[in-house]
Amino acid sequence: MVEWIVLGSSASAPQFLRAIRAQDASSPRTITTNVGLWLLWPDVPDVYFLTDHVACRQYRELAYEAQARGTRLVTMRRDRSALQKRGVERFDEFLEFDHGGSQTRLRRGSYGHVIFSGMYCLQYALHSGASRVYLVGMEGYPRQDSRHHHSKQHLGPLINSAAEEWPEVEFVFCGEPQFELRGMTIIKTPGELQCVCEC
């Protein structure tokens, strides 16, 4: 079984990450973006996705340190000038966007142009042959947050489309989703992980 943890940065992420690592003897591969690198530190992820201007400036040195310790540094393919503006040029892998693709649906064989870095991480894990994906720290914006509409309009549909497009993959969503989910196991507390990890 090829397992991946797709690590976001919601408040529940650290406790779920610890619980999965404590209970899952197979040691799932990990991909994260932006602040997720700090959630793992001093450990490093297998893959770190870095793309937007702010994140590149803010996490460049930490990303390079992680890369020196074995992390694969990944971004979207861009013109050289765009990479220079971001101040990060030592990437290991460049992903190709599907510029005409949907922003609310993930598809096999291409990287849909989505607005959330975490969704690129999910696509990466799926395109890398995942058979089980733990979605950690990806609950979306809370209802009282002015950005909550992004959770319902984008995150929910993207995650649901992944479950539809990759029916052979077991999706384990960790936390309280702020949007409707279909076709996956939802674990609301770390204590519930034991039966999933032992299967």
Contact (Cβ atoms closer than 8 angstroms) between residue 176 and residue 189:
no
**What pLDDT, on the 0 to 100 scale, is given for residue 120?**
92
pLDDT in tens, the chain (199 residues): 899 999 999 889 999 998 898 887 778 999 999 999 999 999 999 999 998 888 888 999 999 999 999 999 998 887 777 777 777 778 999 988 876 655 678 888 888 888 788 999 999 999 999 999 999 999 987 778 787 777 788 888 899 999 999 999 999 999 888 888 887 888 887 777 765 655 4
Q: Are 49 and 121 in contact (CB under 8 A)?
A: yes
Bridge partners of residue 130, in order along the sequence: none
Q: Using CA atoms, how far apart are residues 160 and 24, in angstroms rounded to an integer?
A: 24
Stretch (H or E) spanning 54: helix 53-68
Task: For 89-119, give one letter per residue: b (16+ CB within 10 A) or e.
Answer: eebeeebeeeeeeeeeebeeebbbebebbbb
In this predicted structure, what is the pLDDT of residue 4?
96
Please give the C-alpha separations between residue 118 and each of 8, 26, 67, 138, in angstroms, as whole numbers.
Answer: 6, 23, 19, 8
- Residue 21: partners with Cβ closer than 8 Å, 6 or more residues away: 27
Whole-structure pTM over 0.85, yes or no? yes
Q: What is the pLDDT of residue 198?
A: 56
How many Cα neighbours within 13 Å face the side chain of 75?
A: 23
CATH topology of domain 3-197: sialyltransferase cstii, chain A (3.90.1480)
The C-alpha atoms of residue 143 and residue 158 are separated, in whole angstroms, by: 18
What type of residue is 27? S
Q: Which ranges of 70-153 does DSSP label H, i.e. alpha helix?
A: 80-86, 117-127, 148-150
